Amino acid sequence: MAQDDLAYLSAVELAAAIRMKKVSPREVMQSLLTRIEQLNPKLNAFVTIPSEEALCAADRAEKAVMSGEKLGPLHGVPLHVKDNLFVAGSRTTFGSKLMEQNITTEDCPAVKRLRAAGMIVMGRTNSPEFGWKGVTDNRVFGITRNPWNTNLTPGGSSGGAAAAVATGLGPIGVGTDGGGSLRIPASFCGVFGFKASFGRVPNWPGSGGAMLRHIGTITRTVADMAASLDAMAGPDPGDLLSLPRNPVSYSAEFENGIRGKRIAYCPDLGYATVEPEVAAICQQAAKRFADAGAVVEEIKLDWRDPYPAWSVFFFGTAAASVEKKLPTQGELLDPGFKRVVERGLQLRGVDFANALAARHEFWEQVRKVYERFDLLLSPTLAVPPFPVGQDDADPLKGEKLDSLQWTRFTYPFNLTGQPAASVPAGWTKSGLPVGLQIIGDRYADLLVLQASRAFEQVQPWTQQRPKI
């Protein structure tokens, strides 16, 4: 099978081809490793590529196929993992000079479970230092670039994963999302990103960065997302906030449709400014849910931006991650991240108490939407991809320069812990991807996947591929 054909097969398709012996795990792995060798110098999506180890694992997977062993649902399919998640025997740097030689000895639960489903870790993808910003660069590995235009950012913090998936360098990438870090790069790279309900996929080590961090995957298809969530979801004793296993198979039910569902579209959540072309693309995409049988209504909201509360938890967690090393090794930190840490160190206990109260007040606003509607839609981001070298987008007309204004649609739903996905809504006149966000009520993970699949059917996106 030709390299490009293998590169753009979904994980589900690859697993089926391997089971039917149409292609071997080694052939798949070797093809993708060759493609990475060709394209990664232009993207810098991968930062660690254990080629020999991956090929040996592929050979073992092939022996299992040929000997008739029971195979997992994703047997022999390559997997890449963000460089802030534990992988046994792998260098895990968190994009930080502080952790440049850190070797982790255990898999985090998500990786362990995906391996149990048959996947093979092929490499680690780039992330900003401790995932602190919505673009992807750091002092250890440098800048990751957008495959649609390498002068632009792929977003972050799971930017390496999104760039890899978009370019056919591996169908599934594991990442994290504490303020949009799966959905931001999915939007900027024209792929599918989904954070399930908080706790659906266990966080370990730790318990989720003040209840903000979700672990999930970036894929090209909704079927691959459902398959990966089936593998990863469920409680883990290492995470006291992890949720019980859902008795429903996401793969079995994600195609059941959304006919009759009530869907609200809000273009600004009541407080956000959006670049006009992005707003127009998202508005048109929202209307397409009616083609899938849903009832769509554009609504106005008077929500207040929850950034002040979200930032307390985010900055506080950042400070805790490096506080002990700051006096002696603070000069090694990215200056922007160091400023975030210093803000976190200034927080008081009463600030966290007030942030908890504000979190509850924001949820009181949000939950009222779900008294009338099953789902909420919004733009994923306020802007299309912007140049590398910037930590933030330029301010839009009428805005002051302020960090993360362009991500005002994503971090609110880390604060509430709701399931939220970014689907490719369309492309700008200059050929850049734009994402539409689908937000479910608490624990409505399956419905978000069903809505994503319904949209994928009425407005397919996988045929859109970057020419790099």
> What does each C-alpha distance from 74 to 174, 182, 427 come to in angstroms?
14, 21, 31
Chain centroid, CA 252 distance in Å: 22
DSSP 3-state percent helix, strand, coil across the chain (nearest 5): 40, 15, 45
Spatial neighbors of 27 by CB under 8 A, at least 6 apart, are 1, 6
Burial degree of 221 (CB within 10 A; 0-12, 13-18, 19+): buried
Task: Over range 128-149, report the average pLDDT.
Answer: 98
pLDDT band (50, 70, 90) for residue 5: confident
152-189 pLDDT tens trace: 999 999 999 999 999 999 999 999 999 999 999 999 99
Residue 190: per-residue pLDDT: 98
208: pLDDT strictly greater than 70: no
> What does each C-alpha distance from 404 to 106, 392, 393, 411 come to in angstroms?
34, 6, 8, 9
pLDDT band (50, 70, 90) for residue 3: low
* Residue 280: both structure tokens together: 């127009």
Q: State the Cα torsion 150-152-156-158 to the nearest 10°.
A: -10
pTM for the model stands at 0.98
> Which DSSP letter does residue 133 get?
S
State which amino acid sits at residue 276: P
Annotated catalytic residue within 90, 181, 422, 452: 181
79-113 CB burial, b ≥16 within 10 A, e <16: bbbbbbbbbeebbbbbbbbbbeeeebeebbbbbbb
DSSP notation for 399-444: PPP-TTGGGTTTTHHHHS---EEEEEEEE-TTS-EEEEEEEESTT-
* Measured distance CA(311)–CA(336) in Å, rounded: 15
384-397 CB burial, b ≥16 within 10 A, e <16: bbbebeebbbeebe
pLDDT band (50, 70, 90) for residue 318: very high
* Measured distance CA(46)–CA(77) in Å, rounded: 17
2: pLDDT strictly greater than 90: no
Task: Over range 141-159, report the average pLDDT.
Answer: 98
Task: Over range 306-319, report the average pLDDT.
Answer: 96
Apex 375 CA angle, 370 and 376, nearest 5: 90
349-377 pLDDT tens trace: 999 999 999 999 999 999 999 999 999 99
* Residue 320: both structure tokens together: 């805790």
Catalytic residue flag (residue 467): no
92: pLDDT strictly greater than 80: yes
> What does each C-alpha distance from 372 to 264, 348, 405 come to in angstroms?
9, 38, 28
Residue 209: per-residue pLDDT: 73
1: pLDDT strictly greater than 70: no
Task: Over range 196-221, report the average pLDDT.
Answer: 92
Catalytic residue flag (residue 181): yes
Residue 402: per-residue pLDDT: 73
Catalytic residue flag (residue 51): no
Residue 336: per-residue pLDDT: 96
CB neighbours of residue 264 within 10 Å:
21
User: Which candidate, 282, 258, 170, places its Cα nearest to that of 217?
Assistant: 170
Paired residues of 176 in beta bridges: 215
Residue 267: per-residue pLDDT: 98
Reported in sequence order, the residue ranges of 341-393 that DSSP labels E, i.e. its strands, are 375-379
Residue 398: per-residue pLDDT: 79
325-357 pLDDT tens trace: 999 999 999 999 999 999 999 999 999 999 999
Apex 94 CA angle, 93 and 96, nearest 5: 75
Annotated catalytic residue within 157, 187, 228, 311: 157
251-307 pLDDT tens trace: 999 999 999 999 999 999 999 999 999 999 999 999 999 999 999 999 999 999 999
pLDDT band (50, 70, 90) for residue 207: low
DSSP notation for 280-317: HHHHHHHHGGGGGT-EEEE----PPP-HHHHHHHHHHH
* Measured distance CA(452)–CA(465) in Å, rounded: 19
CB neighbours of residue 351 within 10 Å:
17
401: pLDDT strictly greater than 70: no
Annotated catalytic residue within 10, 24, 31, 82: 82
* Residue 168: both structure tokens together: 């056919």
> Which DSSP letter does residue 90 get?
E
Residue ranges of the domains in the chain?
3-302+364-458
CATH code linked to domain 3-302+364-458: 3.90.1300.10
pLDDT band (50, 70, 90) for residue 210: confident
226-238 pLDDT tens trace: 999 999 999 999 9
- Number of residues in the chain: 468
